[in-house]
Structure 1
Amino acid sequence: MSSSPKTLSMSQVLVCGATIVTLSMGIRHGFGLWLQPITQAQGWTRETFAFAIAIQNLAWGLSGIFAGMAADRFGAFRVIIIGSLLYALGLCGMALAKSPLMFTLATGTLIGMAQAGTTYAVIYGVIGRNVPAEKRSWAMGVAAAAGSFGQFLMMPTEGFLISYFGWQQALLALAAATLLMIPLASGLKEPAFGGASAPARQQSIGQALREAFKYPSFQLLMAGYFVCGFQVVFIGVHMPSYLKDKGLSPQVASYALALIGLFNVFGTYAAGVLGQKLPKKYILAFIYFARAVAISLFLLVPLSPMSVYVFASVMGVLWLSTIPPTNATIAQIFGVAHLSMLGGFVFFSHQIGSFMGVWLGGYLYDRTGSYDIVWYIAIALGVAAALVNLPVREAPIARAPQAA
């Protein structure tokens, strides 16, 4: 491992990285608030909106692989700038699109690509390269907590913008806000990437991929992350409409999503801290099983604003808390040279799950008039994800001498 002193300070990495994640994830978590205003104004079905968000998750996941490769090769600075510009362009397109196709291209493809360059895979690569291993899980927890704080901060903000300025003007205001990520990216400009090439690495991209995909623990982490994506995106996008269908006011949904963000600040930070002390596979198994229990109880008890707030608070603790232990495990097994790329592949599995969760929610609702089947699938998947994480081996992989 390189002992080069040319690294960024940990505080600089965390402040700039966490603020970028706060903006990017905060805006993204609020898209469910636009489901009914847009579909009613445009005369579209919920499946139309859900399909665009589903494409967004696929585009995010697929682009994340290449954004990770670029960040590992050229540094995060350039990738974040491109992502910020795409985010602004996509939000403008989301506001102005007149057809489902244009809406899907802007909301799905452009914003998905933007999120790939401004969220966890890229930011965690910077953390992995600049934060000592003994503090890495904690630092990743801080960055994930920032994304959760962004949800807590942006949900009421986005609700306010929609209420007072209309859904189109609200999107244009958010487009301007995404450009703030450009000056923040300068704080993540790593000296080691200042020349014509990245620092020397022991493995090529092909070698790193072959090693990872042959390793069973990598496959198990990908399987668990699929479930994470299915659950959180289904709930984040469809819960506001689910609650309104049940007769609750839109403010209940806004407060619930804000509570998820608030409590996940603590959940993700705690997961990062615990990842320094406990086997991370046990943390992941607990999170997935606890989600299954929380959803089951939410469906069993009588629905009321208080039951929604309790559910949102519990789910908030578990919401993005899978991210620090998952990415820290990847770094622990494979090292940090290709961390953004490998994290991008695992996240792509997450986004396939996200696609299925958000699209299936809209598809089954339009055909059955209910979200019940998707809730039941989310419970079963939570139990399955808890079980597949238990056999994960966290020890650094043993490499053949010639790989050095």
Structure 2
Amino acid sequence: MNSPASPAPLSIKQVLLCGALIVTLSMGIRHGFGLWLQPITLDRGWTRETFAFALAVQNIAWGLAGPFAGMLADRFGAFKVIVVGGLLYALGLVLMALSTSGLAFTGSAGLLIGMAQSGTTYAVIYGVIARNVAPEKRSWAMGVAAAAGSFGQFLMVPVENWLISGTGWQNALFILSIAALLILPLAFGLREPTRSGAHSAHSQSVGQALREAFGYRSFQLLMAGYFVCGFQVVFIGVHMPSYLKDQGLSPQVATYALALIGLFNVFGTYAAGSLGQRFPKRYLLSGIYALRSVAIVTFLSVPLSPMSVYVFSAVMGLLWLSTVPPTNAVVAQIFGVQHMSMLGGFVFFSHQIGSFLGVWLGGKLYDASGSYDIVWWLAVALGVMAALINLPVREQAIARPVPATA
């Protein structure tokens, strides 16, 4: 008796176009949230810690919801998860504009938008890529999707700054909520054909996949490295605009700095995805984390000026999300694609714990000491740690016992 034929995969062009546009919107909107820190805290009379805590909750909610969003996407398809995520995103932005208390702001900017991002960003999109793109092109394709998120930052940060300046911070959020709804029609391009209920001999249950992954040393090391990634990029993305203003630089310098990070990350993430096809990904990851620490030390050591900010932003841009394609490609390479979105969600959860601490400690320690210096140097130390712990990662497919046939 012949087994049912597997449905034809989606075309690579369709997956990359729709996936890249979804990531562009989802990541592009969130990358500009640091621009709202001073307008909102001044208007509402809140401390920076209030704003920072809400974004810290956003990152931890994103991380907590990520494995469940990935599990649902693996089981029922990414389309439904992305649609729900797009609706939550739009709702969260509207309520973020209407919040008049720190608790309400944490619920909207934190909880709702964090949950929305879990269904509209890398874990779910990369699951679709892994299932529909051949292994020899997978790292490259993930690099294209990550580069799209970077282009979203380059595109959206100046737009968001212009909206805040021209329409006020509340109206800017209302306009972005409409933009977030564009995720819904794009989700149709990632609607995968129904897969047969029949499974291969190596099919795993969710519990088996989790026990295997969390008991595997290389998975633990990847999670630890991704923790550092989250700490560094979210601290810089949220707090650098205020850091630069505190140092007497104009708001335009902060806007250009975030835009440059986004622009150069287009090249950095694409290059990381391409290089991941040719070189060991563990060495690539180790090099990225080490270079981040070097960049931060250099930035803190030279006299601060618009030019030093722009150079730092360009260098960090090359390294910003360049960890994403090799990390996710290693997960798919080791464990296969059946539970890719779920396992990617768990790795990303570690990233978001780091993000929570990076953004929250930035606000907490600033309010306590009047300076960001402690967090900058903590980011340096963590980068060195991440460079070392990625070196022992094993990239080979995990050896599984072959079940006896009847």
TM bracket (short chain): over 0.9
Partner of 1:121: 123
Partner of 1:335: 336
* CA deviation string 1:141-175 (max 9, x = no partner): 00000000000000000000000000000000000
1:6 shift after superposition: 1.8
Q: Which runs of 5+ in 1 are unaligned?
A: none
Distance in 2 (CA, whole Å) between partners of 1:25 and 1:403 is: 46
Distance in 2 (CA, whole Å) between partners of 1:22 and 1:227 is: 23
Q: Does 1:86 align with 2:91?
A: no
SS in structure 1 of the partner of residue 403 of structure 2: helix
Distance in 2 (CA, whole Å) between partners of 1:340 and 1:165 is: 38
Q: How does 1:273-284 map to 2 (within 5 A)?
A: 273-284=274-285
1:5 shift after superposition: 4.3
Q: How does 1:392-403 map to 2 (within 5 A)?
A: 392-402=393-403
SS in structure 2 of the partner of residue 390 of structure 1: coil
SS in structure 1 of the partner of residue 117 of structure 2: helix
Paired amino acid for 1:149: F
Contact 1:95 1:172 (8 Å CA) reproduced: yes
Distance in 2 (CA, whole Å) between partners of 1:236 and 1:93 is: 22
Paired amino acid for 2:31: H
2:187 to 153, 178, 185: 185
Partner of 2:113: 111
Partner of 1:385: 386
Contact 2:7 2:193 (8 Å CA) reproduced: no
Partner of 1:153: 155
Distance in 2 (CA, whole Å) between partners of 1:249 and 1:183 is: 39
TM-score by length of 2: 0.97
Distance in 1 (CA, whole Å) between partners of 2:157 and 2:101 is: 26
Distance in 2 (CA, whole Å) between partners of 1:279 and 1:222 is: 18
1:178 shift after superposition: 0.4
Partner of 1:214: 215
Paired amino acid for 1:226: F
Partner of 1:61: 63
* CA deviation string 1:338-378 (max 9, x = no partner): 00000000000000000000000000000000000000000
SS in structure 2 of the partner of residue 191 of structure 1: coil
Partner of 1:97: 99
Distance in 2 (CA, whole Å) between partners of 1:198 and 1:253 is: 53
SS in structure 1 of the partner of residue 398 of structure 2: coil
Q: Which runs of 5+ in 2 are unaligned?
A: none
Q: How does 1:259-274 map to 2 (within 5 A)?
A: 259-274=260-275
Paired amino acid for 1:289: A
1:400 shift after superposition: 1.3
TM-score by length of 1: 0.98
* CA deviation string 1:231-284 (max 9, x = no partner): 000000000000000000011000000000000000000000000000000000
Contact 1:192 1:199 (8 Å CA) reproduced: no
SS in structure 1 of the partner of residue 146 of structure 2: helix
Paired amino acid for 2:177: A
Contact 1:203 1:403 (8 Å CA) reproduced: no
2:46 to 33, 44, 47: 44
**Coordinate RMSD, CA, aligned:** 1.3
Distance in 2 (CA, whole Å) between partners of 1:251 and 1:278 is: 39
Q: Does 1:351 align with 2:352?
A: yes
Distance in 2 (CA, whole Å) between partners of 1:198 and 1:48 is: 50
Residues 1:403 and 1:279: Cα distance change in structure 2 (over 3 Å): farther
SS in structure 2 of the partner of residue 401 of structure 1: coil
SS in structure 2 of the partner of residue 276 of structure 1: coil
Question: Between Structure 1 and Structure 2, how many residues are aligned?
Answer: 401
* CA deviation string 1:292-315 (max 9, x = no partner): 000000000000000000000000
Distance in 2 (CA, whole Å) between partners of 1:93 and 1:384 is: 39
SS in structure 2 of the partner of residue 4 of structure 1: coil
Paired amino acid for 2:131: R
Runs (4+) off by over 4 Å? 197-201
